A and B are shown apart, each in its own frame.
Chain A
Amino acid sequence: MPLIHPTFSIVAVLMLVAMVLAAWRLVVGPSQADRIIALDVMAMSMVAAVGGLAVIEEDAELLDVAVATALVAFISTTAVAWYLQKRGA
């Protein structure tokens, strides 16, 4: 049992590193598609971090946040991809 919290804390830190890498791609670009995919990866990292947080806090209801984040990420990525297709880079 004492291994649990360190493992999931390390997972949360890894997700933080992933978010920083994606944020670098978000800032640098160069195209709009790169920025959108970086935002998508940041949302996926947040879903994973919330999964780790739910274990650390021992609270299953935190996983609702993961569900909502996954939905919002899909809808926003689809919407911006639609604008990209319609209006160009």
Chain B
Amino acid sequence: METAITILAIILAAGGGLLTLIAAVGLIRLPDAYLRCHAAGKAATLGVIFILAAAALMLGSIGAWSRSFLAAALLIATVPVATQLLARGAAAADIAPDPETADYTD
């Protein structure tokens, strides 16, 4: 049981680290601000929640579980809102989308 929990935690931590790294790579590789919001909002949320779940599994105490749950709930509630607001602000500020992705507007 102990070993199974440890293995699950290691898998979750590795997956979470890779997902968060993918968000940062998307930040570098994608062509405009809107697509970068997309990469940061999706990959970072899931990756960080995986790592928090792994930490709660490894520590195992009620304090670790409650703190991880609080942080994960906050992330689920706030990160999509923040990236959506940021994309709205960018659109209001007339930041141009990449020409290849802007076809639907005209």
User: Taking beta carbons and an 8 Å cutoff, which residues of A are in contact with B?
Assistant: 1, 3-4, 7-8, 10-11, 14-15, 17-19, 21-22, 24-25, 31-34, 36-38, 40-41, 44-45, 47-48, 51-52, 54-55, 58, 60-61, 63-64, 66-67, 70-71, 73-74, 77-78, 81-85, 87-89
Asked if B86 contacts A14 (CB within 8 A), the reply is: no
Asked if B52 contacts A51 (CB within 8 A), the reply is: yes
Q: Chain A residues near B40 (CB, 8 Å)?
A: 37, 40-41, 44
B51 contact from A1, A4, A51, Cβ within 8 A: A51
Interface positions, chain B 18-45, Cβ under 8 Å from A, are 18, 20-21, 23-25, 27-28, 33, 36-37, 40, 44-45
Name the residue on A nearest B70 (C-beta): A67
Q: Chain A residues near B24 (CB, 8 Å)?
A: 17-19, 21-22, 41, 45
Asked if B16 contacts A48 (CB within 8 A), the reply is: yes
Kindly provide the distance from the CB of B9 to the nearest chain A CB, expressed in whole angstroms: 8
Name the residue on A nearest B87 (C-beta): A33
Given contact pairs A44-B40, A66-B52, A54 touches B13 in the complex (Cβ within 8 A): no
Asked if B55 contacts A54 (CB within 8 A), the reply is: yes
User: Taking beta carbons and an 8 Å cutoff, which residues of B are in contact with A?
Assistant: 6, 9-10, 13-14, 16-18, 20-21, 23-25, 27-28, 33, 36-37, 40, 44-45, 47-48, 51-52, 54-55, 58-59, 61, 63-64, 67-68, 70-71, 74-75, 78-79, 81-83, 85-90, 92-95
Query: With A and B bound together, what is the CA distance between A11 and B37 in angstroms?
Result: 23
